[in-house]
Amino acid sequence: MSLATKTETTTAEELAAVRQRVRDVLDEHVTPERLTRHDEEETYDLDLYRALAKAGLIQLEAELDGRRALHQSQTIVLEELGARATSIGVSIVVQYMGVELLHTFGNSMQRDRFLAPLFAGDARMSFALSEPDGGTDVARAMSTHAVAQEDGSYLISGRKKWIGGAMDADFLIVLARTTKIERSAIDGITMFIVPRDTPGIRTNPIDTMGIRALEQCDIEFENVRVPAELVLGRVDKGFRQVLGTLNGERLNGAAVAFGIARGALDYAVEYVKERQAFGRPVGAFQGLQHMLVDASVKIEGARLLLQNAARTSDEDEGASETLSAIAKLAASDAATTATDVGMRAMGGWGFLRQLPMQRYFRDARLYTFAPLTDEMIRNYIGEKHLGLPRSY
Ligand SMILES: Cc1cc2nc3c(=O)[nH]c(=O)nc-3n(C[C@H](O)[C@H](O)[C@H](O)COP(=O)(O)OP(=O)(O)OC[C@H]3O[C@@H](n4cnc5c(N)ncnc54)[C@H](O)[C@@H]3O)c2cc1C
């Protein structure tokens, strides 16, 4: 066997083992009633999160030979979670982003202090970028600011919006303006690691229609003092640093969306085999079958695009960015289509809160606008993939 073939086989086996490990944890911990309860009560399933971390599913790279198959393994974990415990999947997208930012830009003190507890499941982080006046154009709109003090520390003041899990996160990665630069909105922003219990931070929950088992929060910062050693990466270059890691976030968002699509379609197919009308299963009606088939074609397309983008990202991150954007668009489309078809296929039963279809339907909306809206992803693909003039 050639070396290349042997490596491919090893990777395929390792990836299959990762998928099995997520499924084992889900089989042990997740029941439909438990998922419904967390969604209805808007509570985070901390025990499930910890079980996933204890199974090594946050610290994946250690066992996958450095970071050789990191993107492929992360997308597998997130696909499985998207299909079953979507809100936990969304929170793990954020943890993976924190891992990436700390791994890439953290110094050894920061990695020791913040990465180890994340890997162990003893801590969770939130990523605080969006603001009330800016999501897509957040850099230009950013009013949260950090002012350097004589002793080298910074005082952060301002507001952030939609920050997933911030109520009970252990620390936040916060972007704040440190310098006003006339010619560039994206320079002059710095990334800070802010322990959640630092005085001057207030969080308030936001009532959202989806991803209800992960609380979204408004955060207010009032003269929050952060020591110089908790600047993450370079002063004034924080936003550029984040842009450099967005490929992984796009891919990971695509993976959760793809998981939602798969989970919803699987559920709908089982349902239409059982539900009877006019003396036969409703799945025997051609109109219904065609809708389900069209959804499954979108899902298979998204699966291949996602796998291709994840594999290319592992081989050459720089070459994969448009592929990841395309995969994200395909996965978001598959998720909204499959959940819409699933609702139609179930008639009134799709509306029932005890059954999961309405939850998939609500949750699928997230990845039409996060981490970037589908419209901005189209702008990006138009410019970078088709070579057209920037459209905004
Ligand atoms: C459940 C949830 C969880 C979230 N989690 C986090 C989190 O953990 N951390 C965080 O920082 N943020 C988070 N967000 C925020 C999320 O990233 C933003 O909602 C997203 O970036 C879009 O910004 P916006 O909502 O302000 O939309 P806007 O920027 O106001 O966009 C409104 C519309 O205008 C369109 N538009 C804007 N500019 C253009 C353009 N140039 N071309 C074409 N169309 C355009 C958009 O596509 C969209 O359709 C979360 C949001 C939600 C709802």
Q: Say yes or no: 93 and 20 in one domain.
A: yes
Distance 274 CA to ligand 1 centre (A): 40
CA of 162 from ligand 1 middle (Å) equals: 9
Residue of 95, 125, 133, 136 best suited for mutating to test ligand 1, as the one with most atoms within 8 Å of CB: 136
The sign of the CA dihedral 25, 30, 31, 32 is negative
Residues 201 and 281 grouped into a single domain: no
**Is residue 97 a part of any domain in this protein?**
yes
Domain assignment present for residue 392? The answer is: no
Whether 389 is covered by a domain: the verdict is no
| Residue 303: per-residue pLDDT | 98
What range does the domain containing 30 cover? 3-124
My answer on whether 166 and 267 are in the same domain is no
pTM for this predicted structure: 0.96
Q: What is the CATH number of the domain that holds 332?
A: 1.20.140.10
Say if CB 211 and CB 363 are below 8 A apart.
yes
Sequence-ordered list of residues with C-beta below 8 angstroms from that of 134, at least 6 positions apart, any chain: 140, 141, 142
- CATH number of the CATH domain containing 106: 1.10.540.10
pLDDT at 11: 83
Mutate to test the pocket of ligand 1, among 191, 221, 369 (most ligand atoms within 8 A of CB): 369
What's the Cα-to-Cα distance from 56 to each of 31, 47, 50, 98, 133, rounded to whole Å? Answer: 22, 14, 10, 16, 38
Q: Whose CA is nearest to atom 41 of ligand 1?
A: 392
The reply to whether 247 and 346 lie within a common domain is yes
Q: d(Cα 80, Cα 99) in Å, to the nearest integer?
A: 20
Q: Which residues line ligand 1 (CB under 6 A)?
A: 94, 126-130, 135-136, 162-164, 208, 211, 216, 366, 369-371, 373, 375-376, 379, 392
The whole-angstrom separation of Cα 262 and Cα 264 is: 6
Q: What pLDDT does residue 7 have?
A: 64
| Number of domains observed in the structure of the chain | 3
Structure tokens at 1: 């066997």
Q: Are residues 375 and 260 in the same domain?
A: yes
The ligand 1 atom at the shortest distance from the C-alpha of residue 375 is: 47
Nearest CA to ligand 1 atom 39: 376
- How many angstroms separate the alpha carbon of residue 277 from the centre of ligand 1? 42
Query: What number does the ligand 1 atom closest to the CA of 137 have?
Result: 29
Are the C-beta atoms of 190 and 238 separated by less than 8 Å?
yes
| CB distance 90 to 101 below 8 Å | no
Domain end: 75, 92, 124, which one?
124
Q: Is residue 223 part of a domain?
A: yes
Taking residue 46's Cβ as centre, other Cβ atoms within 10 Å add up to 12
E strand segments, 296-376: none
Nearest CA to ligand 1 atom 53: 162
Decide if 7 is inside a domain: yes
Do 175 and 252 lie in one domain? The reply is no
38 and 130 share one domain: no
Domain boundary among the residues 77, 99, 124 is at 124
Residues 108 and 7 in one domain: yes
386 exposure class (CB count in 10 Å sphere: 0-12, 13-18, 19+): exposed
| 255 contacts 79 by C-beta, under 8 angstroms | yes
**265 lies in the same domain as 291:** yes
What pLDDT does residue 60 have? 87
Within-domain flag for 391: no
Query: Which helix or strand (DSSP H or E) is residue 357 part of?
Result: helix 357-363
Determine the Cα–Cα distance for residues 340 and 363; give it in Å rounded to an integer: 12
Bridge partners of 134, per DSSP, are 131
CATH number at 223 reads 2.40.110.10
In the three-class reduction of DSSP (H, G, I as helix; E, B as strand; rest coil), residue 92 is classed as helix
In angstroms, the CA 326 to CA 302 distance is: 9
| Local mean pLDDT, 10-residue blocks, the chain (392 residues) | 59 92 98 97 97 95 71 97 98 96 96 94 97 95 97 98 96 97 91 98 97 97 98 97 92 98 98 98 98 98 98 89 96 98 98 97 97 96 96 92
Do the domain assignments include residue 325? yes
- The reply to whether 47 and 179 lie within a common domain is no
- The residue nearest atom 22 of ligand 1, judged by CA position, is 135
Q: Do 11 and 44 fall within a single domain?
A: yes
Atom 31 in ligand 1: residue holding the nearest Cα: 136
**331 Cβ neighbours under 8 A, 6+ residues apart:** 253, 254, 255, 257, 258, 261, 302, 305, 306, 367
Is 119 found in the same domain as 10? yes
Tell me which residue has its CA closest to atom 38 in ligand 1.
136
Asked whether residue 390 is assigned to any structural domain, the reply reads: no
